Amino acid sequence: MSDKPSLSSSHLVLIPSYNTGSLLINTVSEALQQWSPVWVLIDGSDDGSEAQLKSLQAQNPDSLRVIVRIENKGKGATVLEGVSTAAEQGYTHVLTMDADYQHPASFIKKFMQASMDKLEAMVLGEPEFDDSAPMIRVKGRQISNWWANLETMGWGIHDSLFGMRIYPIADLIAVMHSTRWARRFDFEPEMAVRMAWRGVPVINMLTPVRYIPKEEGGVSQFKYGRDNILLTGMHIRLFLGFLLRLVK
């Protein structure tokens, strides 16, 4: 008797990946143990990491789908492509998680159940950090969270940056098409704010997060200067949008 998860027709796991290295196979393998289907979107990787998935895909032909983009377009653009395809195939909800083994696959079912209990809501992971978390990252997200709550008048976003979350697909696509932004590292915080503006309820879920050290294969695409400038510009735009909403 197979102990593989049954194939869901409404909820799927989507894992965008860019040069994730050896950790990609761990992330995808553990996700497959918890849920089906799992889609992996390779966003222009040039490290050959997608090659690791060939054997796993052969073992899970109905559960694992790998989509390879030749050119790197950014996380938000990649997720939009994936959910647009998912919507065409009848899926209604997507759980996104990072490919670098930071997010616990063991929490997938918990997230999915919360979503099924309240289909209109987005489920946002709220990270529980351990000692491996760089303090500069922890402090930086506190600033982003403060801005997100100001821009949504306390809608209830506990963490605006955490990448493990569930979106109702129709709402996500509508919000993504309403802006030309949110295509790269700004995807998560901008979507949290704009989904709140749309009136999508929030479910926050405490979720452990681990930072894998470099000597164990840990990778990070976060660039402190570049991405902090991007986030600052994003919050300026969102705050101005917030002010415009107040005067309408």
- Record the pTM: 0.93
Contact yes or no for 119/93 (Cβ under 8 A) = yes
The pLDDT score that the predictor gives to residue 1 is 40
Look-up of token digits 């917030």: 242
The reply to whether omega before 201 is within 30° of 0 (cis) is no
Contact yes or no for 230/183 (Cβ under 8 A) = no
Phi first, then psi: give them for residue 88, nearest 5 degrees. -60, -25
Of 56, 5, 6, 3, give the one whose Cα is nearest residue 26.
56
3-state secondary structure of 98: coil
Of 190, 189, 28, 203, give the one whose Cα is nearest residue 98.
28
Contact yes or no for 12/79 (Cβ under 8 A) = no
What does DSSP assign to residue 37? Answer: -
The pLDDT score that the predictor gives to residue 248 is 75
Give 10-residue mean pLDDT values along the chain (248 residues): 84 97 95 98 93 94 96 96 98 97 97 98 95 79 94 97 97 97 93 98 97 74 69 93 90
Phi first, then psi: give them for residue 174, nearest 5 degrees. -60, -45
The pLDDT score that the predictor gives to residue 183 is 94
Domains by residue range for the chain, with CATH: 11-247 (3.90.550.10)
The pLDDT score that the predictor gives to residue 38 is 98
The pLDDT score that the predictor gives to residue 2 is 54
